[in-house]
Amino acid sequence: MKRLSLALLLPGLVALCFEPARWLVGTWIHAGYDSVGAWVFALCVALVLRSVVSGPRRPAARATTQATLLLLGAAGIRLAGRLLDVNHIGAMALALDAWALGLALGLHTRPWAVNPGRLAALFALSLPIKQLLQHFLGFPLRLASTQAAAVVLRLFEPGLEVDGTLLSGPGAELAVDLPCSGAQGLFLLAVAAMAMGSIRQVRPATIGLGLLAVLGGALLANALRLVVLFLGPTEELLAEPTHSLVGLAALGVGVLPAALLAWRAKGLAPEPGDAHPGPGLPPVAAGVLSLVAIAASLAPGKPLDVSEAIEAPGLPTNIGAWAGQAMPLSDKEALYFERFGGSVDKRVYGGEHAAMLIRTTMPVRHLHAPHNCLLGAGHEVTRLGVEPGHIPTTVYKTVDPQGDAWRIEASFVDTTGAGVASVSQVFWRWARTPDGAWSLVERIHPWSACEAAPQSCDAFDAALFSALDLEVP
């Protein structure tokens, strides 16, 4: 009976997992995601193997019921991911599958016990969580890190001034840009804490303390790093490998609160098994569950976040003395904007400068930092920082696979013509006033041309923004 139930359940499990698993593995491989998810997955596998080889499991009837409910929950999440056409949602179903697998393997009943639920939470961190943190929480994290660093710095610099995410004092200035948001440190501390929590006894009160330890430790680590960067020789500290070593040292301090909690907690004791575990999942129930999973994986998508049509001119045909030529969209780009709305316009001017304009009322779907696509296209990308102003401009230097260097400038602009410096700020402003439209104005120049004649690149940018009726950045 158990073999028949497994045979009936297997098609549904494959249908439920195949597409999200393929997407998730793709995020580990694709350079644009800059993901360490494969290492998190390897850590999960190591914990599972260590538990399995420690000794036999004890049969538990309750585990079958829990696993069935988890698979039903995974089917519901998978359905939501399909309907909304959001890969991250569908992939979250894999975490429930991992939880169900941990129960099926009896990890919590083996001599070296592992909590299946916390293991599933650790597995969920193999998703591109760091990118989501930067996308949605990057700006609040920058503000919090700036204020925390200011508290420490005022002990050394009483005249320190704070303007948003800018720290300035006598003879020193530090802009807390997106890479300094602390999102990566928060993610790494969460991985460490979840790994420790999966093999230690955790009481309800400890969960709250653990959350505070992770959040507080990440804020402390990032604040310490910013203090060192502000007080030390900035150019030397920003160079590699010194910059990374400073970050690792600060992260070592930040992990101490969570490590102390884990050290004080006892090892996870194996749960007792059942003398009479029961027959397991009946074949009829397994068949029904498999059909539900298959139906969820085949549901037609109808995303809600489709951009409304925006009646606004695209890129100008010509810009002053620069004659323009339209650049065709790739098949993937054309399908994307046909499905999710919005508009995109790409042109080359004078055979040298290029511009791209994206307009959307759903910026969470359409807008992202240019370096994601550039990394995915094989570029070596260096983020040079943000040029402030009414319309801030983020500047990148990239080197394509052919060895050619380019200067990329990106500006996010709302309906009123005001700009912000990051996608995270776009999200928070859009959340407050979701009725407006947003634009990404991206310029691409040969690096050598801007180095040899910077006034030419500046003149092109000024002419482009004037043609779009925007304030020149």
For residue 390, give the H/E element and its range: none
* pLDDT score recorded for residue 441: 95
* pLDDT score recorded for residue 433: 87
Annotate 31-57 with DSSP letters as a single string: GGG---HHHHHHHHHHHHHHHHTT---
Q: Is 373:381 a contact under the CB 8 Å cutoff?
A: no
What number of other Cβ atoms are within 10 A of residue 439's Cβ? 25
* pLDDT score recorded for residue 233: 62
Instruction: Please determine, for residue 61, whether its predicted confidence score (pLDDT) is greater than 70.
Output: no
3-state percent helix, strand, coil for the chain, nearest multiple of 5: 55, 15, 30
Question: 289 falls in which pLDDT band (50, 70, 90)?
Answer: confident
Question: Between 53 and 434, where is the model more confident?
Answer: 53
What are the pLDDT digits (tens) for 12-49? 888 888 889 999 999 999 877 888 999 999 999 999 99
Residues recorded for the chain: 473
Q: Which of 57-71, 122-136, 216-230, 339-353 is least confident?
A: 57-71
Residue with tokens 């293991």: 119
d(CA 63, CA 95): 16
What are the pLDDT digits (tens) for 162-195? 888 888 888 778 888 877 788 888 999 999 999 9
Question: Between 373 and 50, where is the model more confident?
Answer: 50
d(CA 455, CA 129): 40
Q: What is the 3-state secondary structure (H, E, C) of 115-155?
A: CHHHHHHHHHCCCCHHHHHHHHHHHHHHHHHHHHHHHHHCC
Annotate 394-448 with DSSP letters as a single string: EEEEEE-TTS-EEEEEEEEEETTS-EESSHHHHHHHHHH-TTS-EEEEEEEEEHH
Q: Is 439:359 a contact under the CB 8 Å cutoff?
A: yes
Which whole number is the average pLDDT over 214-230? 90
* pLDDT score recorded for residue 133: 85
Which whole number is the average pLDDT over 450-465? 90
Question: 138 falls in which pLDDT band (50, 70, 90)?
Answer: confident
What number of other Cβ atoms are within 10 A of residue 335's Cβ? 11
Question: 274 falls in which pLDDT band (50, 70, 90)?
Answer: low
Which whole number is the average pLDDT over 281-294? 84
Q: Is 70:119 a contact under the CB 8 Å cutoff?
A: no
Is the N-terminal amide bond of 241 cis, ω within 30° of 0? yes
Neighbouring residues of 203: CB distance < 8 A, sequence distance ≥ 6: none
* pLDDT score recorded for residue 277: 59
* pLDDT score recorded for residue 43: 96
Instruction: Please determine, for residue 208, whether its predicted confidence score (pLDDT) is greater than 90.
Output: no
For residue 324, give the H/E element and its range: strand 322-326
Q: Is the alpha carbon torsion for 121, 124, 128, 134 positive or negative?
A: negative
Q: What is the DSSP letter of 101?
A: H
Instruction: Please determine, for residue 216, whether its predicted confidence score (pLDDT) is greater than 80.
Output: yes
Question: Between 274 and 59, where is the model more confident?
Answer: 59
Which whole number is the average pLDDT over 461-471? 90
Instruction: Please determine, for residue 275, whether its predicted confidence score (pLDDT) is greater than 70.
Output: no
Neighbouring residues of 338: CB distance < 8 A, sequence distance ≥ 6: none
* pLDDT score recorded for residue 3: 76
Name the fold adopted by 318-467. Protein Transport Mog1p; Chain A (3.40.1000)
* pLDDT score recorded for residue 1: 59
288 residue type, one letter: V
Instruction: Please determine, for residue 278, whether its predicted confidence score (pLDDT) is greater than 70.
Output: no
Instruction: Dig out the tokens for 326 from the structure.
Output: 């339209």
What are the pLDDT digits (tens) for 295-325? 888 888 788 888 988 877 789 999 888 999 9
* pLDDT score recorded for residue 53: 95
Neighbouring residues of 414: CB distance < 8 A, sequence distance ≥ 6: 420, 429, 436, 437, 438, 439
Which whole number is the average pLDDT over 247-267? 88
Which whole number is the average pLDDT over 61-72? 80
d(CA 83, CA 301): 4
Q: Domain limits of the chain?
A: 2-114+268-298, 130-264, 318-467
